Structure 1
Amino acid sequence: MTSVEATGAAQPAPDEGEPLSEAEEQLVERALDVMAAVVGRPADELELDNLLAGDLGCDEVAAANIAMALETELDLDGLFEEVEDWETVDDVLESVLYCAEGAADDVATG
Structure 2
Amino acid sequence: MYPSTAVFAACKHLKLKVDKQKLLEQSCLKKSAFDTLAAELMKMAEKVAPQTKRIAKKRTHVLMDIMENQIKEAEKKSMKALQATEEESQENPEDYEDWKKRIISEST
Q: Same fold (TM over 0.5)?
A: no
TM-score where L is the length of structure 1: 0.24
Larger CA Rg, structure 1 vs 2: 2
TM-score where L is the length of structure 2: 0.24
